[in-house]
Structure 1
Amino acid sequence: MADLSIEFCGIKSPNPFWLASAPPTDKAYNVIRAFEAGWGGVVWKTLGEDPPAVNVSSRYSAIYGKNREVIGFNNIELITDRSLEQNLQEIAEVKKAWPDRAIVVSLMLPCEEHYWADILPKVEATGADGIELNFGCPHGMPERGMGAAVGQVPEYVQMVTAWCKKHSKLPVIVKLTPNITDIRKPARAAKEGGADAVSLINTINSITSIDLDRMVALPIVGTASTHGGYCGAAVKPIALNMVAEIARDPETRGLPISGIGGIANWRDAAEFIALGAGCVQVCTAAMLHGFRIVEEMKDGLSRWMDSKGYRTLADFSGKAVPNTTDWKYLDMNYQVIAHIDQNECIQCGRCHVACEDTSHQAIAQIIDQASGARRYEVIDQECVGCNLCEITCPVQNCITMVPQVTGKPYMNWTQDPRNPRAEVKEESTAV
């Protein structure tokens, strides 16, 4: 049976599933329930200076799919609104009771060294396994010069990280903001400052919707609102991309990564790990479905690893990174063509409408004049292999993309004679 235990930047836990710094990790009661449910670790909700932050009401909003399934989740909650003393006491008690579980403490303080020098020994005294620097909170705290206001300035990231390495012996994980043009720059800065790892992504600036009767965004506080932090399933593609950018950047390659963003099941976790994550953090899914979801996550990941012959997470961690490249290195001569399985087709016509109206007019609608029955067939010579028909088809595996034998060798855009700016031929990085 697969071994799910990990050691992440020196921190051990029985499995890679950690709860992210958020409401689920705000107090001992929650964390104990999480550990009883089987979570491998937690990142305690962000601690700050006293007096503690004051939160507003209400705090959350969402984007829904069919049957009110929450696709995206938005919050305007700040860091802990409980005293530093109370949090530190509870952290110490929980760590003593659960020595085999990872407890990382999230911190956010003003950009003055004495604040960090003062709090770090207090955190160490709890027996916590590490600290996470919250450089990502996009609302409320940036207005005070913290959170994303730090994470968006690589020089600040490096400076504060270096302070923490100077004043603490604990592993330092730097939590990065996605609200930035190039995620590699703060990641490089964190590494330069001595970070033991990075975690990402934090939440994305967002306004989920507008109440058109009251003409105010959600969540509503009195008669007004503000932008919040977006998370949940909708942000997973953004998070995966940013994790991959750091994993394959020559300057940060090998830097441990804790993956965050839209992780709701074992497959999500496996995808982050395949792109280089050493552990994953979960928040929204736990808030929507409770702590017991970790049972299915662990079981599913273990079963999948067994089916693939992976004994430990290290056996497949980062395996997808070499196959992730820049667009210019993709094979221009690779070709796929759509194929419709007529035995599976329900003749709904969605593929035809999508291709006819918005794509390449490569799916013909054939109507039997006698019976009026419809049939849809791909026009091979018109199909460019864009995948739109496969995506719009409501029947899984009815439409597949079939690779074609072109007889042409690998050729990327830097080698393509159609490239008007290919003055210097770059070496291929294809695998």
Structure 2
Amino acid sequence: MADLSTEFAGIKSPNPFWLASAPPTDKQYNVERAFEAGWGGVVWKTLGEDPAAVNVSSRYSATYDGFGNVAGFNNIELITDRTLEVNLREIEAVKKSWPDRALVVSLMVPCEEESWKKIVKQVEQTGADGLELNFGCPHGMPERGMGAAVGQVPEYVEMVTRWCKQYSTLPVIVKLTPNITDIRFSARAAHRGNADAVSLINTINSITGIDLDNMVARPIVDGKSTHGGYCGPAVKPIALNMVSEIARDPETKGLPISGIGGISNWRDAAEFISLGAGCVQVCTAAMIYGFRIVSEMKDGLSRWMDSKGYETLTDFQGLAIANTTDWKYLNMNYKVVASIDDEKCIGCGRCYIGCEDTSHQAIKAIAQTDGSNKFEVIEAECVGCNLCQITCPVENCITMVKQDSDKPYMNWTQDPRNPYRDAG
């Protein structure tokens, strides 16, 4: 059976599934119940200086898929609203009771050296395994010069990271904001500051929807609203891209990554790990479905690894990085063409409509004697864009078939059709 144990930035845990810094990790009661359910680690909800933050009501909103499931989750909650003394006492108690689990503490204080020096030393005394610097919170805290206000300035990221490494012996994980043009700049700054690892992504600035009767965004606080932090399955593609950008950047090569963003099942976790993540953090799925989802995550990942012959997580960690490249290096001579399986086709015509109205008019509708239509691909017009396959409601009815070619590999930098192609 596959071994799910992990060592991330020197922090050991029995499996790679950690709860992210959020409401599920805001107190001893929650964290111990999470460990009882089988989570490998937690990142304690962000601590700050006293007096503690004050939250509003209400705090959450969501977007939904066609089946009514939460696709995206928005929150305007701040860091812990409990005193620092209470949090530190509970962290120490939990670590003593659960020595085999990873317990990392998220931190956010003003961008002042003495503030960081003081709090990292206080956390270190609890016996916690590591620190996560919250440079990503997009609401409430940036107005106070913290959270994303730090994470969006690489010089600040590097400076604060250096402070924490100077004053603490614990591993330092820098949590990055996605609300930035290029995630690599922040990651490089954390690396220059001697961070032991980075975690990403934090939540994305968002407004999930408008109450059109009252003309106010959700969540609603006494008739007003504000932008919040977006997470959940909807942000996973963004998170995967940002993880891959850091993993394949020569300047941050080898920097451990904790993957965050829409992880709801074992497959999501495997995808993040395949792009270089050493562990994953979960929040929204736990909030929606409860702590027990980790059992399915662990079981599913273990079974999949067994089926592939992977004995440990490192056996497939980062394997997808080599196959992720810049657009300009993709093979211009590679071609696929759509193929429709008549046996599976239900005649809905969605492929035809999509291709006819918005793509390349590469599918024709052939009227049948019974009044139905048969759909055929016009291979000479098909560019292999995949739109028909995406719109088709029947699994494997439309496949993309590779076309034989005697043309060699040629990327855009070599293509004579590119007026700016690289010389030589």
Give the stretch that moved more between structures: 1-10 or 117-126. 117-126
CA contact (8 A) 2:341 2:398 kept: yes
TM-superposed CA distance for 1:176, in Å, is 0.1
- In the TM superposition, 1:74-93 aligns within 5 A as 74-93=74-93
SS at match of 2:62: strand
In the alignment, residue 131 of structure 2 is paired with which amino acid? I
Partner residue, 2:417: 418
Q: CA deviation at 1:423?
A: 4.4
User: Which letter does structure 1 place at the counterpart of 2:258?
Assistant: S
Aligned counterpart, 1:259: 259
Kindly provide the CA deviation profile for residues 175-213 of structure 1, in whole angstroms up to 9, marking residues without a partner as x. Answer: 000000000001000000010000000000000111111
Aligned to 1:336: 336
Corresponding residue of 2:30: 30
Match in the other structure for 2:358? 358
Identity value in percent: 78
Q: Secondary structure at the match of 1:405?
A: coil
Matches within 5 A, 1:175-254: 175-254=175-254
Compute the displacement of 1:36 (Å).
0.5
Partner of 2:128: 128
Partner of 1:156: 156
SS state of the match for residue 394, structure 2?
Answer: coil
Please list the CA deviations of residues 319-341 of structure 1 after superposition, one character each: whole Å capped at 9, or x if unmatched. 00011000000000000000111
CA contact (8 A) 2:414 2:422 kept: no
Residue in structure 1 matched with residue 407 of structure 2 by the alignment:
408
SS of 1:198's equivalent?
Answer: strand
Deviations 1:312-363 (A, max 9, x none): 0000000000110000000000000001111111111000000000000111
Match of 1:40 in 2: 40
In the alignment, residue 313 of structure 1 is paired with which amino acid? Answer: L
Deviation at 1:74, TM superposition (A): 0.3
Contact 2:191 2:255 (8 Å CA) reproduced: yes
Cα distance, 1:122 vs. partner?
Answer: 1.1
Question: Normalising by the residue count of structure 1, what TM-score does the alignment of the two structures yield?
Answer: 0.98
Cα distance in 2 for residues equivalent to 1:212 and 1:105: 40
| Aligned residue type for 1:226 | T
* Residues in 2 aligned to 1:292 and 1:89: alpha-carbon distance in whole angstroms: 26
1:302-341 to 2 correspondence within 5 Å?
Answer: 302-341=302-341
Q: 2:69 corresponds to which residue?
A: 69
Using the TM superposition, give the Cα deviation of residue 67 of structure 1 relative to its aligned residue in structure 2, in angstroms. Answer: 3.0
Task: Report what 2:289 is aligned to.
Answer: 289
SS in 2 for 1:251: helix
Other structure's SS at 1:143 match: helix
1:316 partner letter: F
> What SS does the corresponding residue of 1:44 show, helix, strand or coil?
strand
Distance in 2 separating the partners of 1:424 and 1:167: 50
Q: For each residue in 1:242-283, what CA deviation from the matched residue of structure 2 results, as whole angstroms up to 9, or x when unmatched?
A: 000000000001100000000000000000000000000000
AA aligned opposite 1:301: L
Secondary structure of 1:376 counterpart: strand
Q: Secondary structure at the match of 2:251?
A: coil
- Supply the distance in 1 between the matched residues of 2:379 and 2:118 (Cα, whole angstroms): 69
Q: Is the 8 A contact 2:105 2:128 kept in 1?
A: yes
* Equivalent residue, structure 2, for 1:428: none
Counterpart position of 1:139? 139
State how far apart, in whole Å, the 2-side matches of 1:67 and 1:405 are: 41
Matching residue of 1:429: none
Cα offset for 1:169?
A: 0.1
> What RMSD over aligned residues (CA atoms) do the two structures have, in Å?
0.6
CA distance in structure 2 between the aligned counterparts of 1:422 and 1:317, rounded to whole angstroms: 34
Extract unaligned runs of 5+ from structure 2.
Answer: none
Tell me the residue number matched to 1:54.
Answer: 54
1:33–1:423 Cα change, 3 Å: closer
Equivalent position SS for 2:198: strand
**In structure 2, what is the Cα distance between the partners aligned to 1:415 and 1:262?**
38
CA–CA distance in 2 between the matches of 1:328 and 1:40?
40
Partner of 2:383: 384
2:88 and 2:123 in contact (8 A); partners too: yes
2:17 is matched with 17
Shift of 1:424: 2.0
CA contact (8 A) 2:179 2:204 kept: yes
Helix, strand or coil for the counterpart of 1:230? Answer: strand
CA separation in 1, counterparts of 2:340 and 2:66? 27
Distance in 2, matches of 1:96 and 1:138, equals: 33
**Runs of 4+ residues over 3 Å off in structure 1:** none
Letter in 2 for 1:392: T
Distance 1:116 1:41 in 2: 24
Q: Secondary structure at the match of 2:281?
A: strand
Distance 1:424 1:243 in 2: 32
